[in-house]
Amino acid sequence: MIRTEGLQKRFGRFQAVQGIDLHVRKGEVFGFLGPNGAGKTTTMKMIAGLLKPSAGVVYIDGINTAVDPVGAKRKIGYIPDRPYLYERLTGHEFLAFVGGIYGMEERPLRARAEELLDFIGLGNFGDELIEGYSHGMKQRLSLAAALLHQPPLLIIDEPMVGLDPAGAMLIKKVFRRYADEGRTVFVSTHTLEVAEAICDRVAIVNEGRVATQGTVQELKVLHTQGGGSLEDVFLELIGSADQREIIQVLRQDRADA
């Protein structure tokens, strides 16, 4: 569903992404992990067609995004790390606006919007202005907008930020259900426990390069002799010796408590 080859991005003299190769399959939840400044958001924006690569190529379901950018975007639902919503619209009006962009017909659009609002727990708030929504409600509305045209690929940058436990559980449920239906979820998250619980495969990036990728179990075997967690893999590849020592002390303190 996603294939990148030699993907690079430069901003002036700064090289943010330094040749990322990915192959994300249909029907999987793929986690894209890394520390702040690793190039995750830049890479996701290039995949989503919001940034032009300095070098390399992106394919979405076999479509070269440089050759047919509109065709590729039709297959994508994208939620950035800071979604922008038109807060003077109601939830219904916002979804109607998004559906119009994708060329959806009015009657199926209205039915799909009602279905999604009910599913994400906003069925009673569809006629209220978005400016009155809580942060979590806005996050869920952004998810509904991304799912509206039922894209085969969902790209989400940090979906759990600011969500309460119920909202986070809903998001995880949506991801798993979406992949089980044969679609693809490409998600960036700092919450390693979430990635370990829901992702079929993950890639860990650092300094604009892929440090490792594979199933969680494969990475555990490769980097912790099979006895660690995804957090241990992450710290082994990314963390400094000081960070690893601090984590070890905190774990020992919890074990002794």
SS3 per residue for the chain: CEEEEEEEEEECCEEEEEEEEEEECCCCEEEEECCCCCCHHHHHHHHHCCCCCCEEEEEECCEECCCCHHHHHCCEEEECCCCCCCCCCEHHHHHHHHHHHCCCCHHHHHHHHHHHHHHCCCCCCCCCEHHHCCHHHHHHHHHHHHHCCCCCEEEEECCCCCCCHHHHHHHHHHHHHHHHCCCEEEEECCCHHHHHHHCCEEEEEECCEEEEEECHHHHHHHHHCCCCCHHHHHHHHCCCHHHHHHHHHHHHHHHHC
pLDDT for the residue 142: 94
pLDDT for the residue 70: 94
Average pLDDT in the chain: 90
Read off the tokens for 205.
């990036």
Mean per-residue pLDDT for 57-74? 96
Give the tens place of pLDDT for each residue, 183-239.
999 999 888 888 888 999 999 999 999 999 999 999 999 988 777 889 889 988 886
Q: What is the reported pTM? A: 0.88
Which CATH architecture does the domain made up of 2-75+151-256 adopt?
A: 3-Layer(aba) Sandwich (3.40)
Q: Count other Cβ atoms within 10 Å, centred on residue 57.
A: 14
pLDDT for the residue 171: 84
Mean per-residue pLDDT for 93-116? 95
8 A C-beta contact, residue 38 and residue 208: yes
pLDDT for the residue 244: 52
Residue of 160 and 122 predicted with greater confidence: 122
Residue 149: pLDDT above 80? yes
Q: How far is 7 from 138, CA to CA, in rounded Å?
A: 32
Mean per-residue pLDDT for 67-81? 93
8 A C-beta contact, residue 5 and residue 29: no
pLDDT for the residue 256: 54
pLDDT for the residue 162: 66
% of the chain with per-residue pLDDT over 90: 70
Give the residue extent of every domain in the chain. Answer: 2-75+151-256
pLDDT for the residue 229: 87
pLDDT for the residue 246: 45
pLDDT for the residue 257: 53
